[in-house]
Amino acid sequence: MNLRRLAPHRTARRRRSSTFGLVGLVLSLVALGCSRPASAPSAEPFALPLPTSFSSEGAHWAIVPMGHLGSEANTFWQLVVERPGSTTWVLATPPGVADNGGLVVRGGASRPLAIGFLTSELLGFSPLAATSDTGHNWSGTVLPSALTPVPDALAGSGGGESVALLGREGESVVADKGGLGAWRTILTRKALVAAPGSSSCGIGALTAVALAGPGSGAPLVGATCSRKGQVGLFESSGGSWRDVGPRLTGALSTSSTEVAGLTADGSRLQVLVAARTGSLWTLSEITQKSAGTSWTVSAGLAIGAGTRIQAIGAVPRGGLFVLLANGSAASPRDEKLEVLVQPGRRWQLMTSPPSATQTVAFASAAPVTKGLEAFVVDQSTLTMYRLEGTNAWVKREVMGVQIPYSSSS
Amino acid sequence: MPGMGSGLSDNNSTIVSAFRTSLLHQGLLALAILAILLLIWNVIRANQIRALSKAASSEGEPASPAIEDRPALGPEPTARRLLRIAFGLIWVLDGALQAQSAMPLGMIPQTVQPTALASPTWVQHLVNVGGTIWNNHPIQAASAAVWIQIGIGLWLLVAPRGLWSRLGGGASVLWGLIVWVFGESFGGIFAHGASWLFGTPGAALFYCAAGVIIALPERHFASPRLGRIVLAVTGTYFVGMAVLEAWPGRGFWQGTSQHSTALGAVTAMTRSMAATPQPRTTASWVSSFASFDASHGYAVNLFVVVSLAAIGLGLLSGRPAPTRLGVGAAALMCVADWVLVQDFGFFGGVGTDPNSMIPMLFVITGGYMAMLRPGPAADTPSLAAAGPTTIGVLRRRATQPGFLLRALGAIGAVAIVILGAVPMAFASVNPNADPILAQATDGTPNAVNSPAPGFQLVDQFGKPVSLASLGGKVVALTFLDPVCTSDCPLIAQEFRESDNSLGTAARQVVFVAVVSNPVYRSVSATQAFDRTEGMAGLKNWLYLTGSVASLEKTWNEYGIEVAVIGAGSMIAHSDLAYIIDARGHTRYILDSDPGSGTQATKSSFANVLTSSIDHVLPSS
């Protein structure tokens, strides 16, 4: 069949032009579908790790994730303890509740030791477990809502009072006068944002709580600040909240900040500040010895792109360690251990811990290398290495843990 | 048991058995309909022949058939015939595939959800509407899909001409659109990774296109215009797909990334297709192509881009030779993609159709035929117009039994469609999920009649409560861990839903939970649970706790096992619910494992719970 005879030239031309129009329309739609809208640079918050170590009631403790670390439902956080007089670590994970969301310890000079559970799956509020006998026995209670997933979401004082930061971005702060069973709201983020004294910060999320600041013993709240160079630190005073955070100077004066850690023991307040400039974060510790006095600022620890903080914890006598790593949280590699032995000092790079170290624990401040241990996790096996001399990690103990896989789904 | 995991598998024996029974019953009904239609045909035929004999004898004409009296019916246009028969067969095949035993439970998670999840939120919401209906009534939905598709297929096959036939095309469009939107998430056109290779814009859209063409009046087949339009649209589509395929950064230019171990889009897709359960031969073909693409991803994509663009331009050319080449090349590419990338489309137990390549090829071929071989100039003449005399009409009716048979066949096909559609329509307006889901998870409630063990505990307000203090009311009793992260919140929601569905009868019922955690058993823990799970506002809800000793006594007497596992695990405990009547007798024991915990299973369990409570209410 001769198609030309059935399709006069004019009709064919009109058809071709409409066909080209159709092609053009489709190509435009395809191009539209493929192009990506321009987006503002992401303002990722500083990622705060939960693995840690600390000392309490004469015992050394560490919190590590175990199991299949790539899947939250099969990651089970464990609490291990080296009790006074003992030279071995034992499992002391509080029983009775799934801990796939992670564990946080009640910081400060509080007694007894209390551990908070971050929520996972369908649980909508955080359980708390307390022990007075270094983890032999635990009693359980609950918070009214879910703890904020930050290491310093829970704090206490020597008098038995506690504060807790609740909600995904720190929506509220609750306090308990003792017993951990009668929590009342003392602050909401909305109220703090609306408070006259908070405008110097430009509050984003609430990121840490503490009790017993120097002198006052009042609750303290850390926050992210969008105002350059301002540290978001607020103290309860006579029923209202006032901004007590310092203003950073020098290179960090143009950085937005986030309070990454908050420790107060009544005599000293230590604030770990993460300052962001572009894609780089700088970690500094600022310290205040008494209310209203000047702040001591440590040297900055630069954290480059691609590097994560694997663990943060305490070094005896007020020091601080930061374990940096590349790779994912589940498979850390190229670990670097930085220590701030004393407030105001420079960061000290230690011997690199073994690969896949989740956290480290310090037993001594002088010398800081004495009794330093690294906790390496391989699914259900926890291996403790001890630093011998200055650069030799020696396997000291291997602990097998019966991980209850699939029990949370 | 929380702490141990649970869920329904696609081949759950209860569901599979119910599905087969449903298909069997509906199949027998379909056969009965066909038998009745055959009977009607026989009666009408006898009447027609009798009427012809009577008329012929009165007019003195021979009653025997005469060739010259047959109506001058022109042949059905080739393109229409091709599309009608091809898509009729494809619909029947699709209907048969829908009868696979994994369909009721596997269809949504394995076939519908993957594409929906890769699509924008508004698509997910829309698809979720259909998914909810299917999940709530998996037996009715899966059976409906079988009969609707078989019905449409038969409709197209048995009704070649006229209004019935065109209506069949319309039905194909309507159901095709439903499948395209709710089953294929708009064919994945809004999803990430849309590609001609993977079936964009969705097989069902080609069913719709074919349905539209079949539904057109036959005069449209009288000129090549229809064919040219079809080829122009498909040609434009091919050019668009070539551009999409060539677009950088979408993962199609790489087999295995040079900078990481990440697989390219085609390699990843073909490897996953090769892993589908299927004959070893076809798996090896797909697997070999996946390996080839992993090594030569750039070359493969270049070939695809050039081929798609060339095919598109050929179809758009409007000239015979390039069009013929375009159709030929499209046939080769479609078959190659169907075998090597789409892996035939229907393997794995939840394959619903042969995917897009075969329907696409039929539409292109249909368009080519319509352009090349236009049909008769006019629509099929009506019966009345074909013969001038009464005897002529009667003779033609009597001598063309096929026409009547096809007409009755079409009615039968429509009846089969209705057979599937009507129960589905009723199910879709019923918000309560089919109880069979709960029965598939937990079995049927165990009927008993024995005095319920008493207990002395305190409620969520610290007030003492005993079983005796609840006398005169029906008690729905279960055991919940207030800090449980999986089953217990779901069971509480099921109790709340049952409470809601009881309506005013709920005043005669108390829903009671006993704490099943020896560590977290404080009143504040029960209050936090109630607040979080929305139980705090229920007037007839009690969450009881007490000392470890009193709790252990209650657990033992009700056969509840509680184990503290440690190492970060929640408490493991039995999931049971007891229905205790107003006299204090246990009447039903239900396994209350919430299974997969979907909205459908929650609703289904609530349905079973409500039904069990209904049986023991004083008024029943």
Q: What is the pLDDT of residues B321-337, one digit of tens each?
A: 999 999 999 999 999 99
Residue B206 pLDDT grade (very low, low, confident, very high; cuts 50, 70, 90): very high
pLDDT of residue A13: 43
Which burial class, exposed, middle or buried, applies to A155 when counting CB atoms under 10 A from its CB (0-12, 13-18, 19+)?
buried
- Average pLDDT value for residue range B185-200: 91
Regarding whether B324 and B460 lie in a shared domain, the answer is: no
In this model, does residue A11 exceed pLDDT 50? no
Same domain for B172 and B283: yes
Mean of the pLDDT values across residues B345-362?
89
Query: What is the C-alpha to C-alpha distance for residues A172 and A191, in angstroms, rounded to an integer?
Result: 9
Q: Is residue B595 part of a domain?
A: yes
Q: Which residue of A has its CA nearest to B228?
A: A15
Q: Is the pLDDT of residue B68 over 50?
A: no
In terms of phi and psi (left: phi > 0; alpha: psi -120 to 50; beta: otherwise), the region of B249 is left
Mean pLDDT value of segment B269-298:
90
Partner residue facing A407 (CB), from B240, B318, B569: B569
Query: Based on the domain organization, do B403 and B448 belong to the same domain?
Result: no
CA gap A260, A313 in Å, rounded: 12
- Asked whether the beta carbons of residue B519 and residue A121 sit closer than 8 angstroms, the reply is no
Same domain, B466 and B322: no
Q: Of A150, A130, A156, which is closest to residue A142 (Cα–Cα)?
A: A130
What digits encode the pLDDT tens for the residues A317-365? 888 999 999 988 888 889 999 999 887 778 999 999 999 999 999 987 7
Task: Tell whether B385 is covered by a domain.
Answer: no
List pLDDT tens digits, range A354-365: 999 999 999 877
Are B464 and B333 part of one and the same domain? no
- Helices B265-274 and B297-316: crossing angle in degrees, nearest 10, is 100
Asked if residue B542 belongs to a domain, the reply is yes
Q: Which residues of B are less than 8 Å from A95 in CB distance?
A: 519, 564-566
Look at residue B1 in the predicted model and tell me its pLDDT: 53
Q: Is the pLDDT of residue A48 over 90?
A: no
Is B194 among the domain residues? yes
Mean pLDDT of B7-28: 91
Mutate to test the interface with B, among A30, A119, A377, A402 (most CBs of B within 10 A): A30
A66: closest CA of chain B, how far (Å): 10
**How confident is the prediction for chain B on average, in pLDDT?**
90
Same structural domain for residues B365 and B468? no
pLDDT per position as a tens digit, B381-427: 444 444 456 666 666 666 666 778 888 889 999 999 999 999 899 98
Residue A147 tokens read as: 């703890």
pLDDT for B69 equals 47
Compute φ and ψ for B533, nearest 5 degrees.
Answer: -95, 10
B399 and B460 assigned to the same domain:
no
Give the integer Cα–Cα distance in Å for A337 and A333.
Answer: 12
Cβ–Cβ < 8 Å for A409, B5? yes
User: Does B485 lie in the same domain as B343?
Assistant: no
Give B556's pLDDT tier (boundaries 50, 70, 90).
very high
**pLDDT band for position B259 (50/70/90)?**
low
Q: Which of A196, A190, A154, A195 is nearest to A172 (CA)?
A: A190
Residues of A in contact with B551 (CB under 8 A): none
- Residue A318: predicted pLDDT: 83
Name the phi and psi angles at A308, rounded to 5: -115, 160
**pLDDT given at position A178:** 86
Contacts 24+ apart (CB under 8 A), B10-14: B10/B102, B10/B105, B10/B106, B10/B110, B10/B349, B10/B350, B11/B101, B11/B102, B11/B105, B11/B349, B12/B105, B12/B440, B14/B436, B14/B439, B14/B440
**Residue among B535, B545, B613 nearest B578 (CA):** B613
- Work out the average pLDDT over A201-226: 87
**Mutating which of B230, B569, B598 best tests the A interface, going by the most A Cβ atoms within 10 A?**
B569
Q: Classify residue A284 by its DSSP letter.
A: E
Higher-pLDDT residue of A15 and A219 is A219
What was the pLDDT predicted at A331?
82
Give the model's pLDDT for residue A8. Answer: 35
Residue B136 contacts residue B606 (beta carbons within 8 Å): no
Q: Coil, strand or helix: which one is B491?
A: helix
Q: What domain range includes position B25?
A: 13-62+78-376+391-428
With bands split at pLDDT 50, 70 and 90, how would you rate the model's confidence at B52?
confident
- Please state, in angstroms and rounded to a whole number, the distance separating the CA atoms of residues B571 and B551: 14
Q: Above 80 in pLDDT, residue B502?
A: yes
Do B144 and B293 fall within a single domain? yes
Residue-level pLDDT at A3: 32
Domain assignment present for residue B211? The answer is yes
Q: How confident is the model at residue B260 (pLDDT cuts 50, 70, 90)?
A: low
Return the H-helix or E-strand segment holding A314. Answer: strand A308-315
The answer to which of A239-253, B14-28, B37-51, B377-391 has the lowest mean pLDDT is: B377-391
CA dihedral B45, B49, B55, B61 (to 10 degrees): 140
Q: What is the pLDDT of residue B384?
A: 44
Q: Does B485 touch chain A (CB under 8 A)?
A: yes
Based on the fold, state whether residues B553 and B579 are members of the same structural domain.
yes
Pairing assessment for the beta strands B474-480 and B509-515 based on DSSP bridges: parallel
**Of A96, A123, A124, Cβ closest to residue B564:** A96
% pLDDT > 70, chain B: 91
Q: Is residue B256 part of a domain?
A: yes
Q: What is the pLDDT of residue A33?
A: 41
Indicate whether B199 and B337 sit together in one domain: yes
For chain B, the domain total comes to 2
**Mean pLDDT over residues A185-212, rounded?**
91
Nearest CA distance, A181 vs chain B (angstrom): 7
In this structure, how many other beta carbons lie within 10 angstroms of the beta carbon of residue A239? 6
Among A369, A363, A306, CA closest to A333: A306
Calpha distance B115→B203 (Å, rounded): 13
Structure tokens at B337: 């993609």
Write the DSSP assignment of A77-94 as a string of letters.
EEEEEE-TT--S-EE-PP
The 10s digit of each residue's pLDDT in B93-149 is: 999 999 999 999 999 988 899 889 989 999 999 999 999 999 999 999 999 999 999
- Distance between CA A239 and CA A252 in Å, rounded? 32
Band (pLDDT 50/70/90 cuts) for residue B67 is very low
Residue B301 is assigned to a structural domain of this protein: yes
Residue B510 is part of a domain; what is its CATH number? Answer: 3.40.30.10
Residue A16 has pLDDT above 90, yes or no: no
Residue numbers in A near B531 (CB within 8 A):
125, 144
DSSP B547: -
In a domain, B590, yes or no: yes
User: Band of the pLDDT at A9, cuts 50, 70, 90?
Assistant: very low
Whether B4 has a pLDDT exceeding 60, the answer reads: no
The reply to whether B411 and B493 lie within a common domain is: no
